[in-house]
Amino acid sequence: MRIAHHLIRVPSGVFYFRQWVPLDLQAAMGRRFLQTSLRTRDARAAKVYALTLSLRYAEVFAELRGTAMPKPRVDDIVANAPLGAVRPYEMDVDPATLLPTRIRTDGTPQDNQAVLDALQALGNLRVALAQPLPDMSHRLPAATKKPPSVLTLAAAIKLYEEAEAATLKPNTWSQRKRAFASLKAAIGGTTPVAQITREKAGDWAHGLMTQPSSKLKDVPMTKRSAGNAVSHAAQLFAFLAQRGKWMGPNPVKGVVVMTKKEKARRKADGFQWEALDVPALQRVFNPANMAGIRTVHTKWAALIGLFTGARVGEVAQLYLSDFIEEDGIPCIRIATDSDGQSLKTEASRRLVPIHPGLVELGLLERVKELRRQGKERLFDGMRIDGKAGAGNAISKGFGYYLDKLGIKPRRANGIVGFHSLRKTVIQELQGSGLPAERRRAFVGHEPGDDVHESVYMRPWTAGELAELFPGLGWGSWLEFDRLKALLRG
């Protein structure tokens, strides 16, 4: 016997109702399928129960989608509930009594027998319909005029903010919040999350690249900027999936992707940091010029950058506890062991030996004095929790200084700033004759693709990294005595 749709029978003979939840409603209902025992071994009764449940769930699904569903007619139930045979005859049934009002056959023995079978099935159905249904109230969602506990996009964003915003860098959260706001404006904050499809996400992303944005002076976003917004928005659905509030593939992830060719073209045509040549460096670190820098932390940060190639954020967030010794060599520990510290990549976590030039300028003396004063950070009075990042104050101060000196990029798409010191150090170390693995470890770059370096090599010691110091030739022209006096003042 063919078992009706939504019915399964377990080895004990009891029938169960089983129905898959539509994909767009799985998150709202919190499950992928519905299953409940019908508490009967009678196939005819089970079909009636299953049909009733199926119609009831169809009504619930319609309410969750915010659409109306017409009430089922009794004759539709009758037509679908019997044994499911395809009949060559025609039969009209009174919905109230479930009795036939007119029967037409072709007069063949087979057709006449089919009519008798149908009449028997209708009789059995009348008996089954008269039986009380099992109590499904604890398994079946109640029908309501408003969708029950549907997670909207606005509510999902609020949930993400409460759980994740505090763990992100201020600047990262600011960008992510803007992406969320843009998605909400395009799709609607009251839209159920379960109804956000990849097509809707794609339309939003397309709009970013074609419609003017007030944030960008009424011009559309570039593909790269739109891709960044998409990456931020995709984090919302990754978070919901972790919480069990989203099922299925991420509808936003990957709707905008930069190809390798596009990345290479952007790198060639886009803005790039420029290293500073020796004449420019001599002007920058001339004591008379550096006296014009208003803050002592910008002066010290520039000198630390010149001898370490460290990123501005790494320098800005240094704690006094990050100044240690290894094998008798004074070192700076670039890490995240203290409040407010963060790293760009895991490779950024490293030990940097302190160049003798920094020792001569009095860096260790400054650390000792600050410890005596009970301070915790090298630049104790400078904020490192701003939205623009820990090194924003230093980066701005050094940028103003370069502009005051008239040091400009050599190319139309070049940039000069604090990061220029990092590029300068890296290019200067190219001539040291020491392997690239050691230079990468010194400045905190990712290991190469070679498994020999990325898997098998141990961390470099402070002594091994200190062998790079002769490659930095600043000592031949820096005026240490005048700079030291300036830093003390």
Instruction: Give the pLDDT confidence of 6-34 residue by residue, as tens digits.
Output: 788 888 888 888 888 888 777 767 778 78
Q: What is the pLDDT of residue 76?
A: 45
Whether residue 409 has pLDDT greater than 60: yes
Give the pLDDT mean for 271-291.
94
Q: What is the pLDDT of residue 270?
A: 64
Q: Which of 291, 313, 277, 265 has its CA nearest to residue 416?
A: 277
Could you tell me the residue ranges of all domains in the chain? 7-130, 153-269, 272-488
Q: What is the pLDDT of residue 79?
A: 45
% of residues, the chain, pLDDT over 90? 48
DSSP annotation of 399: H
Q: What 3-state class would DSSP assign to 332?
A: strand
Q: What 3-state class would DSSP assign to 104?
A: strand
Instruction: Give the pLDDT confidence of 434-459 residue by residue, as tens digits.
Output: 889 999 999 999 887 778 777 888 88
Q: Average pLDDT of the chain?
A: 82
Q: What is the pLDDT of residue 169?
A: 79
Q: What is the pLDDT of residue 112?
A: 57
Q: Which long-range contacts (CB under 8 A, 24 or more apart) does 425-431 make?
A: 425/305, 425/306, 425/307, 425/308, 425/309, 425/472, 426/309, 427/275, 428/471, 428/472, 428/473, 429/309, 429/468, 429/471, 429/472, 431/471
List CB contacts of 401: < 8 A, sequence separation 6 or more. Answer: 284, 292, 293, 298
Least confident of 54-58, 306-310, 403-407: 54-58
The answer, as to whether pTM is greater than 0.75, is no
Q: What is the pLDDT of residue 105?
A: 59
CATH architecture entry for 272-488 = Orthogonal Bundle (1.10)
Kindly indicate the confidence band of residue 75, based on its pLDDT and cuts at 50, 70 and 90.
Answer: very low
Q: What is the pLDDT of residue 376?
A: 96
Q: How far apart are CA 115 and CA 126, in angstroms?
A: 16
Kindly indicate the confidence band of residue 108, based on its pLDDT and cuts at 50, 70 and 90.
Answer: low
Give the pLDDT mean for 327-344.
92
Contact (CB, 8 A) for 89 and 105: yes
Q: What is the pLDDT of residue 109?
A: 61
Kindly indicate the confidence band of residue 102, based on its pLDDT and cuts at 50, 70 and 90.
Answer: low
Kindly indicate the confidence band of residue 101, based on its pLDDT and cuts at 50, 70 and 90.
Answer: low
Q: What is the pLDDT of residue 230?
A: 93
Tell me which of 193 and 126 has the higher pLDDT: 193
% of residues, the chain, pLDDT over 70? 78
Whether residue 122 has pLDDT greater than 70: no
Instruction: Give the pLDDT confidence of 131-190 residue by residue, as tens digits.
Output: 554 554 554 455 444 445 689 999 999 999 999 998 887 888 889 999 999 999 999 999
Give the pLDDT mean for 331-350.
91
Burial tier of 458 (Cβ tally within 10 Å: 0-12, 13-18, 19+) = exposed
Q: How far apart are CA 10 and CA 204, in angstroms?
A: 47
Q: What is the CATH number of domain 153-269?
A: 1.10.150
Q: How far apart are CA 62 and CA 48, in angstroms?
A: 21
Tokens for 128, please give them: 């089954």
Kindly indicate the confidence band of residue 374, based on its pLDDT and cuts at 50, 70 and 90.
Answer: very high
- Look-up of token digits 């990345």: 263
Least confident of 74-83, 217-226, 298-307: 74-83
Least confident of 98-107, 238-247, 376-385, 453-462: 98-107
Tell me which of 309 and 263 has the higher pLDDT: 309
Least confident of 104-113, 294-303, 391-400: 104-113
Kindly indicate the confidence band of residue 53, based on its pLDDT and cuts at 50, 70 and 90.
Answer: confident
Domains 153-269 and 272-488 share a fold: no
Least confident of 109-118, 185-194, 220-229, 366-375: 109-118
Kindly indicate the confidence band of residue 84, based on its pLDDT and cuts at 50, 70 and 90.
Answer: very low
